[in-house]
Amino acid sequence: SSSRMERDGVSAGADSGDQAGSVETAVARSFLIVDIRGYTSFTQTHGDEEAGKLASRFAALVREAISATGGEVLELRGDEALCVFPSARQALRAAVELQFRFRQRPKGQPIFPLGVGIGLAAGEAVAVERGYRGASLNLAARLCSLAGPGQILASETVTSLAGAVDGLRFVERRAVRVKG
């Protein structure tokens, strides 16, 4: 037997001839992208060796904060990390934790010399080899690129899903239109 559903010219369903597992399933996730601000200038000023040390410190701080808040680091590329969370609240808590860790100043010295910008978005995404694909990842990347050092920019979907979160206050920002 065969089942099929159509709406507005888009069809979805399983014919008896479909192979099991051939249909991609989208799942709702929250995505966090964090990026070092001023990394290229730092590299030009201090050289590749120091930039490599900075990137290693960045990776360690990201891994620690993300694992402590229940997320997963999907990709680390020098000065940028892509992380995924099962909930918007966890992603928000991770973003705050990241900013806290990058701003620490034990004994008056910064633990990390540059600021980071963070973008958060949530939505359905399709699982692909070693990651996900979907509009929410693109939005997280766009928000990250708009975030200044020390800033966290979250989509309306993230703040709506999270609702009130103890210890966090959302500040509305002027509306921006992003590609896609």
Q: What is the mean pLDDT of residues 143-159?
A: 93
> What is residue 130's predicted lDDT score, i.e. its pLDDT?
80
What DSSP letter does each residue of the chain carry, written as one string? Answer: --EEEEETTEEEEE-TTSPTT-S--EEEEEEEEEEETTHHHHHHHH-HHHHHHHHHHHHHHHHHHHHHTT-EEEEEETTEEEEEESSHHHHHHHHHHHHHHHH--GGGS-SSSS-EEEEEEEEEEEEETTEEESHHHHHHHHHHHH--TT-EEE-HHHHHHH-S-TT-------------
Q: How confident is the model at residue 17 (pLDDT cuts 50, 70, 90)?
A: very low
Q: How confident is the model at residue 129 (pLDDT cuts 50, 70, 90)?
A: confident
Q: Structure pTM?
A: 0.81
More confident residue, 52 or 167: 52
pLDDT tens-digit readout, 48-81: 999 999 999 999 999 999 999 999 999 999 899 9
